[in-house]
Chain A
Amino acid sequence: MSTTALPTYDDVVERYEPVIGLETHVELGTNTKMFCACPTGFGAEPNTQVCPVCLGLPGSLPVANRAAIEATIRIGLALNCSIAEWCRFARKNYFYPDMPKNFQTSQYDEPLCFDGWLDVEVDGEMVRIGIERVHLEEDTGKTLHVGGATGRIHGATESLVDYNRAGIPLVEIVTKPIPGTGAKAPVVARAYVTELRDVIRSLGVSDVRMEQGSLRCDVNTSLNLPGEDWGTRTETKNVNSLRSVERAVRSEILRQAAVLDSGGRIVQETRHFHEDTGDTTSGRSKETATDYRYFPEPDLVPIAPDPAWVAELKSALPELPRVHRTRLQERWGLTDLDMQSVVNAGAVELIEETVAAGATPAGARKWWLGELARRANETGVELAAVGATPAHVAELQRLVDEGKLNDKLARTVLEGVVAGEGTPSEIMAARGLEVVSDTGALTAAVDEAIAANPAIADKVRDGKVAAAGALVGAVMKTTRGQADAKTVRELILARLGVQG
């Protein structure tokens, strides 16, 4: 068997047309669960936020959470969807131990919201992503497989189930297939999820945190030759960050191309994305599709939102992120290109919050897009998860503005912040990084430098002011960079009786 070089991405997207689609699950931030009054807080002791209803005990019955229905309608409206005048929940039947009733109360052919769109900006161009449907369902519990090497069920000796999450309201947002994005498919996917996240966050209905699982994304990908029908799609799960959305699409495009190039065919299946390698591996095959035996949920009455209420919700929608960003751009005085780089870095809200915490837009942008973006990129985390908060950055910038830190020292302090050592002030104090502004100490250092370099001092006294640079360097060296160079220079010139 001859080894052929794997095709490059550019080569692949030249020959094949990718079609993508995204299914996003958003856990709503309601106080109580979808069908019972249990609390929904994240991180509680296992099986402490449960009751007969969310445990599916015999005889228990669901009652739909009005706040969750309202939040779903608001999401639908923000995504330009039509809102069903009458729709029902449906049971999705399958056996799995993290699902207490062995059916999930979901929606099937009567989603609450349908047929909308979301405009997404990619490289300065608008891409309209069609929204197939937005529906409401309940989350499952979480299974922990113990004893195996992989943490997956195979090889595990024991499985533990935590039902705290069971019954938390979950909104599923499904796009229409997205063809025609070519090489940009991975970037479009990421931009869509980013925009969707921002929209939902602006509605205040979920904290949409991918790392905590309150925003989860499944990515569908297929390839076809130009002019031919769409190919068989795969569904990639376990995509847990915005960066992974992009990587997963790219990786799946490459993998499918390699299969097709070698004459193989794509199997319709679920694939798992691996954060560490950036690859996907085969999960469960969907060729023998599970028959979920959907039927209308007889324990719940249909949802028939009053059109007046829907209209009221629509008129009360907050400014959408895209509009909001345009306003910020003006206020911050950024060019389109600068603003785009802020958006691409996922830094809009971080900068907004940093400015709100007292920093100037320029100062805030400098740190988030510079040092912190570099750091996030190196460690492969979202910018928001890099370890510094908007309050940290605002404080850092204030210390610089007050002259307590210079640029170099500020970077060192920021490293400490990211490493979790404390606030910038704390780190500055603990590490003794403050700019030496005590004129007494500086004067001593200046005198020392003049005494050690008499020839240079003479040149300065003779009017060759530029020569003072060498003396400044000497002082900075003895103060280990903790002095403000400008102040040092002024001191030297004053000492030598020269006007700066």
Chain B
Amino acid sequence: MSDLTRMTAAQLAGLIAGGETSAVEVARAHLDRIAAVDDRVHAFLHVDAEGALEAARAVDARRAAGEELGPLAGVPVGVKDVVTTRGVPTTAGSKILEGWRPPYDATIVERLRAAGTVMLGKTNMDEFAMGSSTEYSAYGPTNNPWDLGRIPGGSGGGSAAALAAYEAPLTIGTDTGGSIRQPGAVTGTVGAKPTYGGTSRYGLIAFSSSLDTPGPCARTVEDAALLHAVIAGHDPRDSTSIPAPVPPVVEAARLGATGDLTGVKLGLVTQFAGEGAEPGVMAAFRDAVDALTKLGAEIVEVSCPNFEYALPAYYLIAPSECSSNLARFDGVRFGLRVGDDGAKSLEEVMSITRDAGFGPEVKRRIMLGTYALSSGYYDAYYGQAQKVRTLITRDFTAAFEQVDALISPTTPFVAFPFGARTSDPYQMYLADLYTIPTNLYGGPAISVPCGLSEGLPVGLQVMAPTMADDRMYRVASALESAVGTLTPPAL
């Protein structure tokens, strides 16, 4: 049998269901691959080999007993370390949660288990999902399999790199400002941010509650859709979860794979016309637009005038919410506690713990958010940012009256070398320039590989109206059928 780690999730599920291989063999192959390459890639923070094999054996037993298996039964999956997994360490990439084993599974993890997927372990990320390179992981960065000296994107760099390194066929990411899509783009993989509320946040360690969205990462659009269908759907434990059926994403991905986009109208955002983007990225994007035209799509330009305020608005809203969400990490009930020598006051111990446990980017955002919410500044910062958010939503609504979906490069630049953007936070923040508006609006968006620039992957983003997640899968799948998937150099 050819290398199991090179197969898509759909292929693996088919082989397991057909008895051509077992879930245990598939799990072993991936665990072996992790053992072989992860010291160079560092996509995983924790590998749960025992748990994975146990889950795989259970799938094999169910198959042997003649039970009907779900579409992803036996397929390995990596889970971003910001999602709680019962009994399995969950750190959110932070020292402050080192060693914490949650007593409960996130809803999406419950759904992954119920579907018979096999969890390999927890993937690396920027601390608390704040960053675009994994350089802010407290446990060291993940290296991009395309070039180990470059960043894999962030915050979900571990989830993306695990795919590109063939350590896992599927991974879970979370997207607050682009943390699924930008890593997908720079690693040549597929990353989808569902509609906010389409996937449950219960068990997702909150960074910015009104923006955080868990979603699927895969090497193909169809695989992403299959994973999307497993984790999505209403969850009564998340008040912001949408009580509506999951859009038909898998069907849409298969429809798109036929390569026909006749009658589909796509919008190019005037404000994303390439200012600040690398020429190679824009060239690959333009080629992809030509490919989409050849597939029958009609391309028009759409102006979204408020998108230029998206980045500043995001950097008020997300830090504000984070300053409150991260208050609970105080050393009292769980995780790290430093300085509790019996001589210090509770307040001192909390302060010392937080100082020791949080990294520089997290501290920066807590301070930004604390300031923005302060009495006397609230209206000027948080209040104003919320108004911008409303205007951006209006831009999207108006755009979707003209077109079925919007397209753009996913991120202005290809994977950059480590250290290139850490000295100036703003340079790092620009990585999310094209992805952030969608988070503020709440709609779905997907990044799909569209070509190379200087030998490094470039991603194209498809943005769709809220709860029209199927639309983006169709377009992304069609593009994939035209340009193919990208294969990184051997490690």
Contact = CB atoms under 8 A, between A and B. Distances in A.
Question: Which of B106, B201, B375, B382: most chain A CB closer than 10 A?
Answer: B375
A248 to B, nearest CB: 29
B303 interface: no
B346 A59 contact: no
B366 to A, nearest CB: 11
B334 A57 contact: yes
A106 B16 CA distance: 51
Question: Which of A52, A58, A103, A299: most chain B CB closer than 10 A?
Answer: A58
Interface in B83-139: 83-84, 90, 92, 97, 100, 102-104, 106
B324 A295 contact: yes
Q: By DSSP majority rule, is chain A's interface helix, strand, loop, or mixed?
A: loop
Interface in A79-96: 91, 93, 95
B458 interface: no
A298 B210 contact: yes
B357 to A, nearest CB: 13
A301 B204 CA distance: 18
Given A56-B333, A291-B375, A293-B375, A301 B239 contact: yes
Given A63-B236, A300-B239, A58 B327 contact: no
Contacts of B329: 58
Interface string A56-77: 1111111110000000000000
Contacts of A293: 323-324, 370, 373-375, 378
Interface string A82-121: 0000000001010101001111000000000000000000
A60 B90 CA distance: 13
B327 A161 contact: no
A55 interface: yes
A159 interface: yes
Interface residues of B, number: 45
Contact of A97 (B203, B208, B332): B332
B202 A58 contact: no
A59 B205 contact: yes
A93 B373 contact: yes
Interface in A40-55: 52, 55
A100 B104 contact: no
Contacts of A101: 327-328
Interface string B190-210: 000000000001111110111
Contacts of B364: none
Contact of B239 (A60, A61, A103, A161): A61
A56 to B, nearest CB: 5
Contact of A95 (B84, B90, B330): B330
B81 to A, nearest CB: 11
B327 A103 contact: yes
A59 B106 contact: yes
A60 B238 CA distance: 9
Given A97-B346, A299-B240, A58 B328 contact: yes
B223 interface: no
A334 B329 CA distance: 61
A57 B104 contact: yes
Interface residues of A, number: 31
Question: Which of B83, B103, B238, B373: most chain A CB closer than 10 A?
Answer: B373
Interface string A148-159: 000001000101
A102 B330 contact: yes
A93 B369 CA distance: 12
B342 to A, nearest CB: 8
Nearest to B84: A59
Contacts of B202: 59-61
Contacts of A159: 346
A57 B204 CA distance: 11
B201 A58 contact: no
B237 A102 contact: no
B239 A52 contact: no
A268 B333 CA distance: 34
Contacts of A58: 84, 90, 92, 97, 100, 102, 205-206, 328-329, 334
Nearest to B342: A157
B222 interface: no
A29 to B, nearest CB: 23
B20 interface: no
B211 to A, nearest CB: 9
B347 interface: yes
A101 B328 CA distance: 4
A156 to B, nearest CB: 10
Given A63-B236, A97-B346, A102-B328, A57 B102 contact: yes
A100 B328 contact: yes
A102 B347 CA distance: 12
A161 B331 CA distance: 13
B59 interface: no
Interface string A128-148: 000000000000000000000
A436 to B, nearest CB: 67
A465 B236 CA distance: 87
Interface in B165-205: 201-205
A289 to B, nearest CB: 8
Interface string B344-388: 001100100000000000000000001001110010001000000
Contacts of B378: 293-295
A93 B327 contact: yes
Contacts of B382: 295
A301 B240 contact: yes
Question: Which of A60, A159, A291: most chain B CB closer than 10 A?
Answer: A60
B142 interface: no
B412 to A, nearest CB: 28
A298 B208 CA distance: 9
Interface in B310-332: 320-321, 323-324, 327-330, 332
A57 B101 CA distance: 11
Question: Which of B100, B106, B328: most chain A CB closer than 10 A?
Answer: B328
Interface string B228-272: 000000001111100000000000000000000000000000000
Interface of A: 52, 55-64, 91, 93, 95, 97, 100-103, 153, 157, 159, 161, 291, 293-295, 298-301
Given A100-B333, A295-B324, A298-B210, 19 more contacts: A52-B103, A52-B104, A56-B328, A57-B334, A58-B329, A95-B327, A97-B332, A102-B330, A153-B346, A293-B323, A293-B324, A293-B370, A294-B373, A295-B373, A295-B382, A298-B208, A298-B209, A298-B321, A301-B239
19 contacts: A57-B84, A57-B104, A58-B102, A59-B106, A59-B202, A93-B323, A100-B328, A101-B328, A103-B327, A159-B346, A161-B332, A291-B375, A293-B370, A293-B374, A294-B373, A295-B321, A298-B209, A300-B240, A301-B239
CB-CB nearest 4 A-B residue pairs: A102-B327, A298-B209, A293-B373, A298-B210
Interface of B: 83-84, 90, 92, 97, 100, 102-104, 106, 201-206, 208-210, 236-240, 320-321, 323-324, 327-330, 332-334, 342, 346-347, 350, 370, 373-375, 378, 382
